């Protein structure tokens, strides 16, 4: 199937009643908002159609507007937010009382929301990981020996942020998904409630339907994202149409002389056994 390259969301917006939109790399880069993307989502909402932001952030969704406000992303850009943290809380609170924590201090919002006791690894029933302890400076390989020893315990590794990397300004910052890959490499069990897996999409669909006060036709939902392992794979897993924002973390692989290259984009997705109905350089 062919991926259609578009330049504006408005070219396809009539085909959809709701948008599930990724956050990092699509509407901001951690330092600044992407104004054309923000305006495109606001325009979609003006037509009475909901935008639900669907993020692999490990923190509860109630904390995300504070960050968006700092970046001057207006509340009129979205109707609701659903995070991997939300999906994790639902699952973790039914897994037992004793957990080992692996993550930075900035994710205390997640850990404080859990009904668990944090203990040493040799006492834990499972691991909760929201990312490297110092994601701005640590490298994923710094954790290989630690993760190999953890995997020997045989306890599940709950990955609160399935993203492998996130774009922050001009840097790519490692996320919990990259640590989960190493844990799984050593035979450990990994649980990922966020994208690309079903729990976060189920929550997002419930939010959209509550806004509309009706059942959504799944053919009328558009997912937007830039991560192939999370956004594109997740939409494909759920049987939902997807707009691949190709100018983000995969830009170098997909760019031609005149911008986003259709042949390179299709080949890149096919190589990863993925399909996106549409692709765009940057959301606008």
CATH code, 167:
3.40.50.1000
Residue 238 counted as domain residue? no
CA 187 to chain centre: 24
Which comes out higher in pLDDT, residue 126 or 247?
126
**What is the pLDDT, as a whole number, of residue 171?**
84
Percent of residues, the chain, with pLDDT higher than 70: 99
Residue 61 counted as domain residue? no
Residue 113 counted as domain residue? yes
List 83's β-bridge partners, or say none: 55
- The band of 252, judged by pLDDT with boundaries at 50, 70 and 90, is confident
Count of domains for the chain: 1
Q: Could you tell me the residue range of the domain that residue 160 belongs to?
A: 86-191
Residue 134 counted as domain residue? yes
Residue 151 counted as domain residue? yes
Q: Each residue of 197-206: pLDDT tens digit?
A: 999 999 999 9
Residue 156 counted as domain residue? yes
> Three-state SS string across the chain, please?
CCCEECCCHHHCHHHCCEEEECCECCCECCCCECHHHHHHHHHHHCCCCCEEEEECCCCCHHHHHHHHHHCCCCHHHCCEEEEHHHHHHHHHCCCCCEEEEECCHHHHHHHHCCCCEECCCCCCCEEEECCCCCCCCCCHHHHHHHHHHHHCCCCCEEECCCCCEEEECCEEEECHHHHHHHHHHCCCCEECCCCCCHHHHHHHHHHHHHHHCCCCCHHHEEEEECCHHHHHHHHHHHCCEEEEECCCCCHHHHEECCEECHHHHHHHHHHCCCCCCEEECCCC
Q: Each residue of 159-209: pLDDT tens digit?
A: 999 999 887 777 888 999 999 999 999 999 999 999 999 999 999 999 999
Calpha distance 268→1 (Å, rounded):
13
Averaged confidence pLDDT in the chain: 94
User: Smallest Cα–Cα separation from 30: which of 168, 130, 137?
Assistant: 168
Calpha distance 284→89 (Å, rounded):
33
How far, CA to CA in Å, does 148 sit from each of 76, 143, 154, 168, 187?
A: 45, 9, 11, 28, 9
Residue 111 counted as domain residue? yes
Looking at the predicted structure, is the pLDDT value of residue 260 above 90? no
- Using DSSP bridges, classify how beta strands 278-280 and 259-260 pair: parallel, antiparallel or unpaired: unpaired
pTM of the model: 0.90
Residue 163 counted as domain residue? yes
């Amino acid at each position: 199937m062919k991926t259609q390259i578009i330049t504006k969301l408005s070219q396809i917006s009539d085909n959809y009643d709701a948008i599930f939109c990724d956050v990092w790399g699509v509407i901001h880069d951690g330092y600044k908002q992407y104004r054309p993307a923000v305006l495109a989502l606001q325009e979609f909402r003006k037509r009475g159609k909901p935008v639900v932001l669907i993020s692999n952030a490990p923190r509860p969704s109630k904390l995300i507007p504070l960050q968006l406000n700092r970046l001057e992303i207006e509340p009129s850009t979205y109707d609701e937010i659903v995070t991997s943290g939300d999906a994790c809380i639902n699952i973790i609170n039914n897994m037992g009382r004793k957990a080992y924590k692996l993550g930075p201090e900035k994710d205390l919002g997640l850990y404080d929301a859990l009904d668990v006791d944090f203990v040493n690894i040799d006492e834990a029933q499972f691991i909760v990981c929201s990312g490297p302890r110092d994601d701005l400076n640590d490298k994923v390989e710094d954790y290989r020996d630690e993760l190999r020893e953890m995997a020997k315990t045989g306890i599940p590794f709950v990955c609160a942020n399935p993203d492998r990397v996130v774009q922050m300004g001009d840097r790519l910052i490692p996320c919990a998904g990259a640590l989960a890959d190493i844990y799984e490499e050593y035979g450990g069990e990994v649980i990922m409630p966020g994208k690309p897996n079903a729990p976060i999409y189920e929550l997002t669909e419930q939010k959209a339907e509550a806004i509309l006060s009706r059942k959504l036709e799944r053919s009328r939902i558009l997912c937007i994202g830039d991560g192939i392992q999370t956004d594109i794979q997740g939409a494909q897993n759920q049987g939902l149409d997807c707009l691949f924002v190709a100018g983000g973390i995969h830009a170098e692989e997909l760019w031609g002389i005149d911008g986003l290259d259709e042949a390179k984009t299709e080949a890149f997705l096919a190589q990863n056994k993925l399909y996106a109905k549409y692709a765009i350089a940057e959301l606008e």
